[in-house]
Amino acid sequence: MTLGHDFPASPCRLCGSASRRLVADRGRGGAPLETVLCTGCGLVSHAAIPEEAEVSDFYATRYRLEYKGGFTPKRKHALRALRGAMDRARRLAPLLPGQAKVLDIGASSGEFTFVMGEAGFAASGLEPNWGYAEFARREYGAKIGQGGWDSSDFPREPLHLVTMNHVMEHLTDPWAAMRRIHAALAPEGLLFIEVPNLAGIRKQLANTFHAAHIWNFTPQTLIAAAWQAGFTPRAGENLAHTSIVFRKRRPEDQPPAGADAAHAEALLRQMTETQSRSAYLLSAAPLTRRWQRLLRNIGEHATTRRHASIRAMADALLDRAALEHGSPWAGRHGWRMGGRRQPANSAASRAKA
């Protein structure tokens, strides 16, 4: 089927329209992958949503091996995950009550669960990949259950925060996942979602879509999907990005706007114009991306080589972060004194704080 032409489809999960436009027939690496855009709202997805059993088996066994090159994280990947987890913790910890119950769905190698536990929260995670889940339990001592949002290990007690960091785009049914989370959250509980932002990206269309990302969101379509599951962004969130903290919506809340035909048309123009191969090569993006990647790799190599293990690296990062003003780990994380770590909240650590 020719790119840009109408694609027969079932009603859109977001807006109900049956009108789709074929925007790509290949994914990253040139593998066959038909991707369609709903002309009614701008939601982008695989043309054919895979079966849940197939997806579950892929993430339990092959995903980390194919995308990360192993059944446990490399040091550079752990470092990136730790830094990202700490940034999320700095953002989310101030929104929570003390001893809040936190669940990270798609916990990967356990970094966010670990750093939130070190900040004093009752943190747990769910991870479908057996190798990464076992690594998290062994290396960080993190409480990681096996599976995803539909796992039998899903906590039964009310939760104060559930996070899905670059997870929702992988799910066959994100709406079912969000409804499960909605039911599990305490009345004032929060849901954090971060997904890749399809709007305004500067990369070739040929490198935009791949098999692991079933859904491709913009801020407008993400907020609309969350609304359908009973959520709305909390006050103060930056709605120009796809990294959003949601709360349970209330009767007085107004439905979101923006996921409409005009949004779909704008996305289509982006894909055919600014994301064309010629436009990408003529921009500064190829050189900028390579330069940034080189600098990142040099910095990561220098950091990872200084530590005997991933856990030692994690402890060093948290020790340094504990000195920050308003740090989630100040006075809670154990301090290195005389070459030995003091227990969190010990008299020595409180005196040091």
SS (H, E, C) 284-353: CHHHHHHHHHHHHHHHHHHHHCCCCCHHHHHHHHHHHHCCCCCCCCCCCCCCEECCEECCCCCHHHHHHC
The DSSP code sequence of 148-203 is: STT-TTS--S-EEEEEEES-GGG-S-HHHHHHHHHHHEEEEEEEEEE--B-TT--S
- Residue 203: is its pLDDT beyond 80? no
Q: For residue 183, what pLDDT is reported?
A: 97
Ranked by mean pLDDT, which of 126-130, 296-300, 302-306 comes out on top?
126-130
Count of C-beta atoms within a 10 Å radius of residue 280: 17
Q: Which residues of 143-169 are buried (b: 16+ CB within 10 A; e: fewer)?
A: bbbebbbeeeebbeeebbbbbbbbbbb
Q: What is the DSSP letter of 137?
A: I
Q: Residue 303: is it exposed, middle or buried by C-beta count within 10 angstroms (0-12/13-18/19+)?
A: middle
Asked if pLDDT for residue 335 goes beyond 70, the answer is no
Q: Are 140 and 106 in contact (CB under 8 A)?
A: no
Distance of CA 272 to the CA centre of its chain: 27
What average pLDDT does this structure show over 294-314? 87
Average pLDDT score over residue span 63-84:
86
Q: Is 37:23 a contact under the CB 8 Å cutoff?
A: yes
Nearest 5°: phi and psi at 143? -85, 95
Provide CB contacts within 8 A for 295, sequence distance 6+.
Answer: none
Closest CA to 85 of 116, 130, 125, 64: 116
The pLDDT, as a whole number, for residue 3 is 64
pLDDT single digits (tens) 276-303: 767 666 666 677 777 877 888 788 788 8
Q: Which helix (H) or strand (E) holds 122?
A: strand 122-127
Sheet strands side by side (includes 19-26): 6-8, 19-26, 32-38, 44-46, 215-216
Alpha-carbon span 347 to 92, nearest angstrom: 27
3-class state of residue 238 by DSSP: coil
Rounded distance between C-alpha atoms, residue 256 and residue 58, angstroms: 34
CB 107 within 8 A of CB 123: no
The residues facing 337 across adjacent strands are 340
Containing 85, the helix (H) or strand (E) segment is: helix 75-92
For tokens 């913790």, the residue is 89
What are the pLDDT digits (tens) for 214-254? 999 999 999 999 999 999 999 999 999 999 999 999 999 99
Distance, CA of 159 to CA of 180 (rounded, Å): 12
Distance CA 45, CA 38 (A): 8
pLDDT at 340: 34
- Round to whole Å and give the CA distance between 23 and 33: 10
Q: What per-residue confidence (pLDDT) applies to 272?
A: 86
User: Band of the pLDDT at 113, cuts 50, 70, 90?
Assistant: very high
* Distance (Å, whole) CA 282 – CA 196: 24
pLDDT for the residue numbered 135: 96
Tokens found for residue 62: 């092959």
Task: For 26-41, give the DSSP string.
Answer: E-GGG-EEEEEEETTT
